Amino acid sequence: MPREQLPQLCEEIRAFLIEKVSKTGGHLASNLGIVELSVALHYVFDSPDDHIMFDVGHQCYVHKILTGRRERFDTLRQLDGISGFLKPSESEHDCFVSGHASNSISAVLGMARGDKLLSKKASSVCVIGDGALTGGMAYEALNDAGRSGLPLVVILNDNDMSISKSVGGLALWLSKIRLKPKYFSLKYSTQAFLRKFGRAGKKAIAAISNFKSDFKHKVLPENIFSVLGFDYLGPADGNDIESILPLLEQAKKLNRPVVIHLKTVKGKGYSYSEEAPDFYHGVSAFDSSVGTASKSGQSFAKVFGDNMIELSRRDSRICAVTAAMDMGTGLSEYKSVFPDRFFDVGIAEGHGVTMCAGMAKVGMIPVFAVYSTFLQRGYDQLLHDAALNSEHVVFGVDHSGSVGADGPTHHGLFDTAFLRSIPGMVIYAPTSYAELKKALEKAVFEHSCPVSIKYPKGVEGEFADDTFDLSAACIRQGKDVTLISYGIMINEALKAADMLLDAGTEAEVIKINRLDKFDMQTVLTSAAKTGRVVVLEDCVRAGCLGEYIASELAGNGADVMLLNFQESFSEVGTTPQNYRLHGLDAQSVYSSVMSAINNKNREGI
């Protein structure tokens, strides 16, 4: 495409994004802010031979439009549709699965090293936001990549804070000089010439370098990228394609580690998202002509946040911690009410866990609200720092279970297994808002060890009672089969029990409230009565609660069936669709139980 037509292309893409995402929902503001950069990347680099990776991956919509998936955008984040994140099985242009922050530099460095060993000539490029640079893994990778000498380009998409702000006209002039090919040609040819003179030449190179560095530092503050061995280009306007293209072209020619610093506007080109970029970061379908209505109503996250305020008023030791997710975890209002007792550690879950353990060590009661899929990144710290020290840290494990359209990178299908593996960890699984309140109060005031409370994304179901005075409760009597579940899936178990009753089968429903340690006798008594046990869970099979229950029931003669996500990450789709696909919805549970009963009866005949 002629270069002069690229700005028009960017405007067309921006209009297309607003139209499509307003219908499907998705990550809007971040993609509007990266339109020009994405177009420039595909103009300068050659995907898929060159590797282009977007950190977190949710800012890949423009990339997908430009790589053959524009016609499928009506299916964005839907079952059998295109993913809202990078997905290699969807296209060869998606070089790496990416849904968690701060992994992009490590991944593309690995690709660059692999290409070198395979004698492939290619560039590796990653786009990482200033938010993702709060994660420690990004700095580990920068430390390694800067000294590699490989054709690696790290683009800092800076839409919030400035990292190495230029000062004055001379600084701007120096920045422009560094973009000129003759500057780098002279720099490296001079170094090559001086090296011919051996030790004296090396001294001359060092002297020139020191003089240049001293001069630069008079007008440009030191930045971490230069220190780590990168050539640093920028900062520049990341929403002006004519400013971006020379930077990318120069970085490609340098054929070595380069950082390009771009300032962008999150939500660019759509007034509603520019004014409220956090709110438009991830949206449901809305009317694009008037913007989207404010989120309102109850949810597990909001109940959690409201109750945190109430408990914090009762006890000054309680404080709230989040990993760059105060809005998502329901703590925005808490931040306003208790600003001195609210801590956002950035995208650094491991650090957050250990910091909480340190706070607990000196007598505070830290409550760390974090998505299940992100807490996975702090597993070592859960074990080594919170549990081994037996510190009283409370973890609000939000988005536990299936989370729908965000897909496999965000489904919280592993917390049951990894939390149950940690010695001394108390694990509560409330089903209703009332139980979430009770669980949080118990976690804060009745324990002195690590406590996790796992709850789902969204709203409560039909079950709105409070059974949390018991670790395991029989909430429906029956004689033919025992259905065991916990958390939000109790609703599916109760619906299945209703369907079974209509078919003449009485199901007893056992609700487990505490997953680490519960009244097993309630289960044993029910299993002895019915002879058939079904354990229903929204988690993977390995390490699930059902495996433990099955081992406890071994030898008592009861038939045990485990219904869960098996060995699956699960795909994009609504939560009801995911339940149905994996046989976890009420209709599927009913069918599985009836099939087992009928097969058993035939065997008897």
Catalytic residue among 266, 341, 438, 457: 266
Find out whether 321 and 355 touch, Cβ atoms under 8 Å.
Answer: yes
* Digit-coded pLDDT (tens) for 105-137: 999 999 999 999 999 999 999 999 888 888 889
Find out whether 421 and 366 touch, Cβ atoms under 8 Å.
Answer: no
* Digit-coded pLDDT (tens) for 252-296: 999 999 999 998 988 888 887 878 777 777 777 777 777 765 555
Question: What is the rounded CA–CA span in Å between residue 240 and residue 443?
Answer: 51
* Digit-coded pLDDT (tens) for 466-484: 999 999 999 999 999 999 9
Looking from the CA of 333 toward its CB, the CA atoms found within 13 Å total: 12
Looking from the CA of 178 toward its CB, the CA atoms found within 13 Å total: 21
Q: For residue 94, is it left (φ>0), alpha (ψ between -120 and 50) or beta?
A: beta
Q: Which two tokens stand for residue 76?
A: 């964005």
Average pLDDT of the chain is 89
What number is the average pLDDT over the span 383-404?
96
Catalytic residue among 268, 377, 438, 454: 377
Find out whether 345 and 327 touch, Cβ atoms under 8 Å.
Answer: no
Q: What is the DSSP letter of 386?
A: I
* Digit-coded pLDDT (tens) for 5-16: 999 999 999 999
Nearest to 136 by CA among 450, 459, 377: 377
The question of whether 541 is a catalytic residue gets the answer: no
Is the model's pLDDT at 186 over the cut of 70?
Answer: no
Helix axes 6-24, 35-44, angle to 10 degrees: 130
Nearest to 394 by CA among 454, 328, 338: 454
Question: What is the rounded CA–CA span in Å between residue 273 and residue 263?
Answer: 17
Is the model's pLDDT at 352 over the cut of 60?
Answer: yes
Say what the pLDDT of residue 51 is.
96
Say what the pLDDT of residue 38 is.
97
> Which range, of 65-69, 443-447, 566-570, averages the lowest pLDDT?
566-570
Q: Which two tokens stand for residue 429?
A: 């699984």
Catalytic residue among 36, 349, 391, 547: 349
The question of whether 266 is a catalytic residue gets the answer: yes
Task: List, in order of start, the domains of the chain with CATH numbers.
Answer: 3-165+224-272 (3.40.50.970), 169-220 (no CATH), 300-454 (3.40.50.970), 472-604 (3.40.50.920)
Residues 6+ apart with CB under 8 A from 387: 422, 423, 424, 425, 449, 450
Question: What is the rounded CA–CA span in Å between residue 98 and residue 79?
Answer: 19
Nearest to 62 by CA among 30, 90, 87, 88: 30
pLDDT tier at 297 (50, 70, 90 boundaries)?
confident
Helix (H, G, I), strand (E, B) or coil at 366: strand
Is the model's pLDDT at 195 over the cut of 90?
Answer: no
What number is the average pLDDT over the span 72-87?
90
Q: Read out DSSP for 20-35?
A: HHHHH-B--HHHHTTH
Give the chain's end-to-end CA distance (angstroms, integer).
74
* Digit-coded pLDDT (tens) for 220-248: 556 788 889 999 998 889 999 999 999 99
The question of whether 182 is a catalytic residue gets the answer: no
Is the model's pLDDT at 340 over the cut of 90?
Answer: yes
Is the model's pLDDT at 601 over the cut of 70?
Answer: no
